[in-house]
Amino acid sequence: MELSVNIDHIATLREARKELFPDPVYAAVEAELGGADGITVHLRGDRRHIKERDLELLRQIIKTELNLEMAATQEMTEIALKIKPDRITLVPESPGEVTTQGGLDLLNIKENLKPYISKFQDNNIKIGIFLDPTPDQIKEAVRIGARYIEINTNEFSKNPKSKDELIRIARVAKAARREGLIVHAGHGIDYKNIKALLSLSEITSYSIGFAIIARAVFVGLRQAVREMVNIIKGGG
């Protein structure tokens, strides 16, 4: 079981005052020292938090795995091919949204993702798709060349006591594994609601940001990450 820590909100705090600090690169190092298996950042079209310079420095500094969340656009593809993260998670992106509103709808998306994915595969970059927990999209994810999916856990996170949402996630996770896809999960996960998800053995990695950064305000980032790692890996 692995944890990738999303450090976007460190950059959000920096951009609130247009300062040089707090530095997302320093945050990434602290997250790794806390036991993170990877670092996740989302480079948005409006550059509201993470910048290209952050990506360049992260690529040089971190010792674990760099996961770049991005929209499937020509601009982002060119940046990604320059930086060469370890993996890329393709996500939908809408102007003005506070956070990602849902998964990619592979059945109705107008953009042809295969040309982008082929370029990434040619550069040995693992490709994943951020999806809502709907099983009918799994075969399409396989068809376009995804190596893994990240299940959108937002609805579950809003109502973690809902057995229906947990069942939806479990069905998608099982369907994805049957098709040979690796299964990740993320969005809205915190120190409490993650415990229900840990019963799903098909999920092998979690991407968590806001809850960890919020906890870090009180205990420090290294400790906040360590606490989440202990929960995920059975130590706490």
Domain ranges of the chain: 2-232
pLDDT digits (tens, 9 = 90+) for 90-134: 999 876 655 666 899 999 886 789 889 999 999 999 999 999 999
Copy the structure tokens of residue 31.
């997250």
**Model confidence at 236, in pLDDT bands (50, 70, 90)?**
low
- What's the pLDDT score for residue 108? 87
- Identify the pLDDT of residue 210: 98
Enumerate the active-site residues.
42, 69, 187
Q: What's the pLDDT score for residue 97? A: 59
Mean pLDDT for the chain overall: 94
Query: What does the pLDDT read at residue 1?
Result: 95
pLDDT score of 48 more than 90: yes
Q: Please state, for a pLDDT cut of 90, what percent of the chain lies above it.
A: 90
Pick the CATH number of 2-232 from 3.10.20.600, 1.10.150.390, 3.10.580.10, 3.20.20.70: 3.20.20.70
pTM of the entire structure? 0.95
* pLDDT value at 177 more than 90: yes
Structure confidence by residue, pLDDT tens digits, 54-80? 999 999 999 999 999 999 999 999 999
- The torsion angle over the Cα atoms of residues 224, 226, 229 and 231, rounded to 10 degrees, is -70
In this model, does residue 226 exceed pLDDT 60?
Answer: yes
Residue 161's pLDDT is: 87
Q: What is the pLDDT of residues 137-170, one digit of tens each?
A: 999 999 999 999 999 999 999 998 889 999 999 9
Q: What is the share, in percent, of the chain residues with pLDDT greater than 70?
A: 96
What is the reported pLDDT for 112? 83
Q: What is the mean pLDDT of residues 38-42?
A: 98
